Structure 1
């Protein structure tokens, strides 16, 4: 039985559209994850300094930053280099994302989408779909060779509610809450939350089916992001919910870059290949029936991420 690849100690920091997320890694799974509002740069630096104390003495410790907001990312990297007195790697500028791509010439997908893809494929080693439900909702396809093909981008739940309010005369500004009770909303607020909630779920279902139709089988589906559990925790088409997939992708990028002799892609990162799959090609599920989408599919088909429930 092969040993899992060595994971260098990593402080992974993701600057998102809404939050800054920090994850401490000493192994494949994060030991601690901290969330800070994107505007609270001082809070993010304080959290980073505290987390870095746990790995700062390690000779191969690394600090990684990936951002979708370059201005906040620049300020954070400069402050971290001064505060921690260590090298801070930016992903993908200083450290590439270990995932192949098949995209239109000149296409530049967000680093968060690529990191999601790298983390999902590193774990599953077969074709997969990653749904990231956050400020935006992305649904991306990775083939059985570990190549990112792109996907779809749509507004997230709160962005949809904000747009409904700002672009109409009568619809109120409301916070999102999971709809309960009847299938239809009895007032305007209830109708709005049902529209965005079921619309987001329906969007994902339709895209999964379209990707599966073109691919020739149903890939494993992983959901991540702040609203993943809310939207897909009980969804029959979603195999796993992994809220910290981007951070895991950053830890994998560090492993591949800093431990190249042990961080390559020749064998699965965490355990054996799923039954029916191999490293040379895809292992896709047969297309289930339209009404009973998962009939005959073993829910344990794919190796599962180890995720803390709290």
Structure 2
């Protein structure tokens, strides 16, 4: 069994994979909760005990990494902490400094390279909104062309509330996605989603122009479903090209570990 851990900006997700790549179990913590556990053994999932190897992506900082390392050490699980490279798992990384690409973005692209037909726009709608363009070259190798990072839905709303005095007491959670909002809650909520959808459409158009055909649009993250709803309701992207995907980073961790084990270029 292989343990995959995705420590994101807000939540830490984990999944246990068997030798065939099927996820046998999975779970999630809020990072704030994970940092508060005094007894580490008390919160270690029992499914981890069958694992000898862990592959970890961390974009949450060193404090959370210390907690995760301690958990794994208590179970004597070997640890591989992912740092993006120039090439891995049949995917070329064109970032100017490959190791500075967020490991979560890199792993999501590795999963998409493995599971879907390229070209594709890989989207994660979480704390941040990331939009990463993938193409394929003549040798059938995947190529990361580049991408965007924007504030996610909550961050967009929160930044407006914090900076505008008249809005500071609003509860934006009560807003709805509307084409012509008639209350401030929905105006902020719909505005943030429209900004996200507009960025997606812009990047999608650039990729479509670059490759000469309509690429897939693979969407994951906590706000993936509502972003897809916005894209569809505004007729920005053909529904046939939109795919809601789960556990992309966890799957990417598994595929990367398998490429290590099989001796493929990393």
TM bucket by the smaller chain?
0.7 to 0.9
1:101 aligns with 2:93: yes
**Quick one: distance in 2 between partners of 1:23 and 1:193?**
32
Among candidates 20, 25, 28, match of residue 32 of structure 1: 25
Pairwise CA distance, 1:214? 2.1
Among candidates 155, 176, 179, match of residue 179 of structure 1: 176
**Quick one: distance in 2 between partners of 1:46 and 1:124?**
39
| 8 A Cα contact 1:11 1:51, kept in partner | no
**Quick one: distance in 1 between partners of 2:109 and 2:33?**
28
Matching residue of 1:79: 70
Pairwise CA distance, 1:131? 0.7
Matching residue of 2:210: 214
Q: What does residue range 68-217 of structure 1 map to in structure 2 within 5 Å?
A: 68-92=59-83, 98=89, 99-104=91-96, 108-144=100-136, 145-172=141-168, 173-176=170-173, 179-180=176-177, 182-217=178-213
Instruction: Give the TM-score normalised by the residue count of structure 2.
Output: 0.83
| 8 A Cα contact 1:80 1:88, kept in partner | no
**Quick one: distance in 2 between partners of 1:70 and 1:259?**
30
Structure 1: 5+ residue stretches without partners: 1-8, 266-310
Q: What does residue range 231-242 of structure 1 map to in structure 2 within 5 Å?
A: 231-232=227-228, 235=232, 236-237=238-239, 238-242=241-245
1:249 aligns with 2:255: no
Matching residue of 2:53: 62
| Aligned-partner SS, 2:179 | coil
Q: Deviations over 1:58-117 (max 9, x none)?
A: xxx4111110023134313431233211211111289x8533112335772101110011
**Quick one: distance in 2 between partners of 1:146 and 1:45?**
40
Cα 1:93–1:87 change in 2 (3 A) is farther
Pairwise CA distance, 1:220? 1.6
Segment drifting more, 224-233 vs 10-19: 224-233
Which one has the bigger helix percentage?
Answer: 2
Matching residue of 1:258: 261
Q: Deviations over 1:196-234 (max 9, x none)?
A: 122212221221012211222222211111111221157
Query: What is the aligned length?
Result: 247
**Quick one: distance in 2 between partners of 1:115 and 1:157?**
22
**Quick one: distance in 2 between partners of 1:157 and 1:205?**
16
